[in-house]
Homo-oligomer: A and B are copies of this chain.
């Protein structure tokens, strides 16, 4: 094997999208992880973290490890793999930190070996990282991080992914308040059963959101984002949640919801200036409560993982 080296970017992502609990996710523009991956003769894995973000030193605890092993296993390859983590979203932010690294690793390995896997199989590899991070094979961050855009996970047995159309002017303001919410903890707060009436409202909304995306009906998208299943429980982790939403809706946002299992919160808007205003309000909301926060105001990206120079 000739030694080969690439750099890969994979975007941050927002899982759930309000009503689409566990079945939808969206890729963000610009924000994401950068990995440098090289393969050579031999057999082994070396991970170096140069991102400045604290990560577990033990490769057994790093999400890229099971991703790379899965790729080598299903493609029947053996290699000495070296990964340099150059840029990293802060873990626990709720915008798909583990998925961005997992997606970059899966996409990068596939590129290095001449693309033996299709897109859905690359997602399946990336889901191994999700499993290590959160104890479950979820694709709602991993799929958009690999494929870009807005992805519907129709089902898992087998994995059935649908890339939904993204309206032309679709902006997202995301705030990451510095509160750590553990994904497992955020899952455990949810009940195991959903009242039938809430479940019906939820799937009416999922249908409405998909219809809104196909028809470009921005009003319908906004109305359909409401989450009757996870948000009523998880918003307890986020100080002043209802108040913040009221302010953002007042400012013209289409919707505000928790990103993934939180604590990040995002708002959608069909105008960049409204998204920017929403971002400012989010920042001020947390800072006034003594909580540091990062804010991103970006377009929804149709591009997922990609090679970079």
Contact = CB atoms under 8 A, between A and B. Distances in A.
Interface of A: 19-24, 152-155, 160, 162, 164, 190-196, 199-211, 214-215, 220, 223-224, 229
Contact of A194 (B22, B199, B220): B199
Contacts of A223: 154-155, 160
A119 to B, nearest CB: 16
Looking at A153, A190, A196, A207, the one whose CB has the most chain B CB atoms below 10 A away is A207
Nearest to A163: B211
Given A154-B204, A193-B195, 16 more contacts: A20-B203, A23-B200, A23-B203, A24-B207, A152-B207, A153-B204, A154-B207, A154-B224, A192-B195, A193-B193, A193-B194, A194-B196, A199-B202, A207-B210, A210-B211, A210-B214
Contact of A205 (B22, B154, B196, B202): B154
Given A199-B229, A214-B211, A214-B215, A152 B204 contact: yes
24 contacts: A19-B203, A20-B203, A20-B207, A21-B200, A23-B200, A152-B208, A153-B204, A154-B205, A154-B223, A160-B223, A162-B207, A162-B211, A164-B211, A190-B196, A194-B196, A199-B202, A199-B229, A203-B203, A203-B206, A204-B206, A206-B207, A207-B207, A207-B210, A214-B215
Nearest to A201: B155
Nearest to A165: B214
A292 to B, nearest CB: 33
Contacts of A204: 22-23, 152-155, 206
A24 B210 CA distance: 14
A207 B208 CA distance: 8
Contacts of A19: 203
Q: Sorted from nearest, which 4 A-B pairs have the closest CB atoms?
A: A154-B208, A214-B214, A193-B193, A203-B203
